[in-house]
Structure 1
Amino acid sequence: MDQRGQWDNRAAFILAAVGSAIGLGNLWRFPFKCYEHGGGAFLIAYVIALITIGIPLLLLEFSLGHRFRLAAPSAFRKVGRAFEWVGWWAVLVGFVIVTYYAVVMAWAVVYTGFSVTQAWGADPAGFFYGEVLGLTGGPFELGGVRRPLLIGLGISWTLIILAIWKSAKTVSKVVYLTVVLPWALLIIFIIRGVTLPGAAAGLHYYLAPIFGHLLNPALWGAAYGQVAYSVSIGFGIMIAYASFLPRRANITSSAVIIAVADGLTSIAGGFAVFGTLGYYAQLKGLPVTEVLKGGPGLAFITYPEVISQLPMARVFGLLFFLMLLALAVDSAFSLVEAVAAAVRDKWGLGHRASNFIVGGIAVSLGLIFTTGAGLYWLDIVDHFMEHFGLIAVLLVECIVLGWFHKTDQLRKHLNSVSKTQLGDWWPWFIRIVCPVILAALLTNGLVRELGRPYEGYPIRALVIAGWGVAALLPLLSILFSLFRGHRRDPVEETTGG
């Protein structure tokens, strides 16, 4: 084993990468986007997006991390000293996301406890927004920290730090539970969802495409944005994970397995969700198109209300929120590990020290999301990170690695360590196809955002938590790249394969 540590085996690596990719978004973000954009039509766009950017960019990040065996900033510095900041930008986007992702994980923690008594009662919406979040009238009415969320946040971060206590060695063991358990529970909820009365109406909406929706640019933007977010590219995670692989690793087929597993999990989760929505629509006497109002509402309002109507409601409630918690922990600790690995490579800190530093700063910054105004700030930051921060990082990655580095060298590296061989098409995807798609997404997002304020939030809030954070991250990235690393610079010691 080299000094970076290695995965126990290929299966552990694949499970860890799949665990990072499969998170709350597969059962929350994906179904809601599918619901918003015409069900079956969105599925078609999603599969195309997975093939055209998901798999090619996942291969790109794996090739970079494995070739140089370094975290994102140091790996980009190997490409050229002027490009280290790109790696920092990626991990900082992931760092910002984990500050609020851990709070959503805290919601799952407290709801796991509430599920035992069905504490949400007859008004799940009032309970979620009032009793749990203590939602105020706007983003500048903080309302104080909510004690249940603070406790849940403490439990969440304890689980995250324990999961990565000894780097790849600990993660290799943890993922067998945190990836396999949610899949097992998801199968239970799929069976339960599709057999509920009224499920057929929900499944018809999910699977029957209205092809006219495919002419809507917003649908394609949502599909490509979902793939980029879900596959965990653009955060430095997959670069760091690939750096822990042994020299010989069948990376190409692993990337395809991971991307397909993520896509299939989202699609399978849709059966559970839309079957349940069909039942919920019948329960309320409404069409399926009118029963869901927002992403968090699906997991913390609609599902609790449906679960309360089922036999063995307490059991199903407990299993559902345990599933959410297990899904969240993999994604959360992968975001932390990407940042911590970058810090270790740059400044030579120990594994536990880097984890505690990254975790401590993230907890401190995340406290605002536990206040009565937390949901507003979370929504703003999440929107700008998904539509601008992440897409911009991926676009710059493609430009740097496609035009300022010989992409064919990365292809040759992948082919030298993999049984499955990449053809000449892949470099052209990195140089042309992916950048064009990402630039179109970014342009479309900017035009839409400048046309009207997101969700009607005050301009000041959008400037602070949206545009401000999005602009601050590349500036911080450049600053970090200018800092001198520790004496034994990994970029000087490591040679590419």
Structure 2
Amino acid sequence: MLLCTGLPLFFMELVLGQYTSLGPNIIFPKMAPIFAGLGWGMIMVSALVSIYYNVILAWAFFYTFASFTSELPWTDCDNDFNTPECYLLQEDKVCKNMSMFYYNQTCLEPDAYCGLVNLVSLNASHCYDPNENDSLVVADGAVHRITPSEDYYRNRVLGVTGKTWEDMGGMQWELVGCLALAWLIVFACMVKGVKSSGKVVYFTALFPYVVLIILFGKGITLEGASLGIDYYFLKPDWSRLADTEVWSDAAIQIFYSLGSSYGGLITLASYNKFKNNCMSVRGRQTAVYSRRRNSSGSVHATAAG
């Protein structure tokens, strides 16, 4: 997907933007009036993605501030915001060793555990519905339980447990503040237009690799890391390549990673010099944002959409 779809589209959008010095909402109507909606569609998609990505950034800020504690709040079920469904894998293993099940921070007998969802215990691993024949249910999946990290996200960060459209609860002011901070940073990056955003790219493009290297180093030292390495590098499941969903997921990831078909590449490339080599490594850095003069000496105004 990267070689056959992503990179060709990436290069084509750089060429279109650099050659015309126009944004997507202007370039497509000039190329073919029937495609006028394509450029505006790109702008709308970019606007929507920017809005919900900033919400994700707000969550990231929330977690960043919450991590400045001696013990991370999403590692156990002992907090005020935790629900009875919160369970720890290690505690669950302890209960299973006693032929019991972990729920609400205690070990329950199979009868009591299955009874939480109006089922009857058959044995140490299965429940069944007495009102239906052949209705065996694996006990582990019979009762809805969530990990501490999911419980923290749903109940502490979002506060959505038990909420309905009729009663959506109050405002999460901490998230409001984090979202305001996210938009403030975006404003600071764009306050001087494309020139300042070009400098920001040097950080935003390189910093993720630093984080990925750190996470990789941490990940390979965790218990069970060898299983993932063995799966991906030594025993890959090549039959998955016949699954169309795998290719669909790959295409989605490539388009997100490269930013193709969102209009941003065309807009940024429109600020390149007309004769910039956008195939070279330096040329692909669309941070060469300066107005160029045309052959008559007048300033060539660029339209970024």
TM-score by length of 2: 0.64
2:150 counterpart residue number:
125
Match of 1:218 among 235, 245, 249: 245
Equivalence map 1:302-313=2 (5 Å): none
1:50 & 1:188 partners in 2: Cα distance?
25
Equivalence map 1:72-151=2 (5 Å): 72-117=24-69, 118-122=72-76, 123-137=148-162, 140=165, 142-151=168-177
- Which residue identity does 2:57 align to in structure 1? M
Deviations 1:383-417, CA, capped at 9 Å, x for gaps? xxxxxxxxxxxxxxxxxxxxxxxxxxxxxxxxxxx
Task: Give the drift of 1:145.
Answer: 2.9
Task: Give the drift of 1:138.
Answer: 7.0
Task: Give the drift of 1:256.
Answer: 10
Task: Give the drift of 1:139.
Answer: 6.9
1:246 counterpart residue number:
273
Whether contact under 8 Å (1:58, 1:255) holds in the other structure is no
Whether contact under 8 Å (2:271, 2:302) holds in the other structure is no
The reply to whether residue 198 of structure 1 matches residue 220 of structure 2 is no
Number of equivalences: 214
- More strand by proportion, 1 or 2? 2
Task: Give the drift of 1:494.
Answer: 7.7
Whether contact under 8 Å (1:105, 1:156) holds in the other structure is yes
1:231 & 1:128 partners in 2: Cα distance?
29
Whether contact under 8 Å (2:17, 2:268) holds in the other structure is yes
1:70 counterpart residue number:
22
Shift of the 218–97 alpha-carbon distance from structure 1 to 2, 3 Å rule, reads: same
- Which residue identity does 2:260 align to in structure 1? I
Deviations 1:339-393, CA, capped at 9 Å, x for gaps? xxxxxxxxxxxxxxxxxxxxxxxxxxxxxxxxxxxxxxxxxxxxxxxxxxxxxxx
Whether contact under 8 Å (1:114, 1:120) holds in the other structure is no
- Which residue identity does 2:276 align to in structure 1? A
Shift of the 135–256 alpha-carbon distance from structure 1 to 2, 3 Å rule, reads: farther
2:31 & 2:281 partners in 1: Cα distance?
24
**Secondary structure of residue in 1 paired with 2:275:** coil
Task: Give the drift of 1:133.
Answer: 0.7
2:22 & 2:192 partners in 1: Cα distance?
17
- More helix by proportion, 1 or 2? 1
2:257 & 2:208 partners in 1: Cα distance?
16
1:343 counterpart residue number:
none
Give the unaligned 5+ runs of structure 2.
Answer: 77-147, 286-299
The reply to whether residue 236 of structure 1 matches residue 263 of structure 2 is yes
Bigger radius of gyration, 1 or 2? Answer: 2
- Which residue identity does 2:215 align to in structure 1? F
Shift of the 78–166 alpha-carbon distance from structure 1 to 2, 3 Å rule, reads: same
1:166 & 1:206 partners in 2: Cα distance?
44
The reply to whether residue 163 of structure 1 matches residue 189 of structure 2 is yes
TM-score by length of 1: 0.40
